[in-house]
Amino acid sequence: MPLSSPLKNGSQDPYVKTAQRQLIALGYSLPRFGADGDLGDETLRAYGEFLMLEGLRGPTDEMPKAISVAGAAALDRAFAAIPPVGQDGNFFDERNNHPHDGRSKSMPYRTWAKVTAIVLHQTASQLGEKPARWRTVPIHFGVTRAGKIVQLYDLTEVCNHAGNFNGWTVGIEIDGWFAGVQGRPETLWQPKPPAAKRTPMDLPGVQADAAKACVEGIIDMVAANGGKITHIHPHRQSSNKRQSDPGSLIWQTVGLWAQQKFNLSDGGKSYKIDSGRTIPKEWDSRYVGNQY
């Protein structure tokens, strides 16, 4: 809904979070607080920079003390001109509908400069195609089997998705259950009885393409805000309880592709943190000797 009256410093009107997310998407940094829904000096400074570059205020004008109706309309127009992350028509923004209860309590936000890596996950379940179903998942992006990309957290939010990777990574959940090693169904995580035994899923082409588009969109968004994605990791590197996460099929299709296309690193043959596991030779032929 368009803004009907100006919002002054200190406002917590629902539109504030919308404006903050639009500013971030347009490349204006909110490094301390991100899209926290509170209109303060950081947001107004970024908003003032936007107005100046749009020719709506001069460089010597006083910093705005409020978001005006005309300024909000200009922000809406500029944001609407940005193509969404991923495939046209298949991007769904659920950030305003998510409770964000997976956000870190000790460090809820980080600067763009600290966002340096992507972590790939498999859901090990099937959440399906309705974006609303993803609102309980603590992850930045979900990718459905039909190729939809669902955004749930801002990239500057620290989301509890991968243990001690959380502070500097963006998480992507790829919907489905996948074998730890493709062709070895015994490496598929199984739910406890009486749930029916599962057989490994494939990775549809549209889902793989959407996951790749999501990776590329994250890289572009971080770069637009002055940061740089340098690494991509499987969740297993941070937890021995995630041996099959995301599985060889996802890692080889998306993780290795991202390394080759964008010159990203996974940390190398011996890399892991905390109780994590190294990348096995079954996932990457360079890592001879690493056990699944």
Provide mean pLDDT across the span 79-91. 67
CA distances from 79 to 63, 96, 241, 249 (A): 21, 16, 41, 36
In angstroms, the CA 206 to CA 189 distance is 24
In angstroms, the CA 15 to CA 188 distance is 44
In angstroms, the CA 200 to CA 222 distance is 34
pLDDT above 70 covers a percentage of the chain that reads 96
> pLDDT tens for residues 120-159?
999 999 999 999 999 999 999 999 999 999 999 989 899 9
Structure tokens given for 20: 């903050």
Q: How confident is the model at residue 85 (pLDDT cuts 50, 70, 90)?
A: low
| Structural domain spans, the chain | 7-80, 91-262
In angstroms, the CA 111 to CA 223 distance is 13
The pLDDT score that the predictor gives to residue 82 is 66
Q: Which range, of 46-50, 132-136, 184-188, 235-239, averages the lowest pLDDT? A: 46-50
Q: 91-262, which class in CATH?
A: alpha beta
> pLDDT tens for residues 57-71?
776 678 899 999 999
The pLDDT score that the predictor gives to residue 84 is 56
CA angle 150, 154, 156 (to 5 degrees): 145
Structure tokens given for 226: 């002055």
pTM of structure? 0.77
Its CATH architecture, for the domain 7-80, is Orthogonal Bundle (1.10)
Structure tokens given for 144: 């459905």
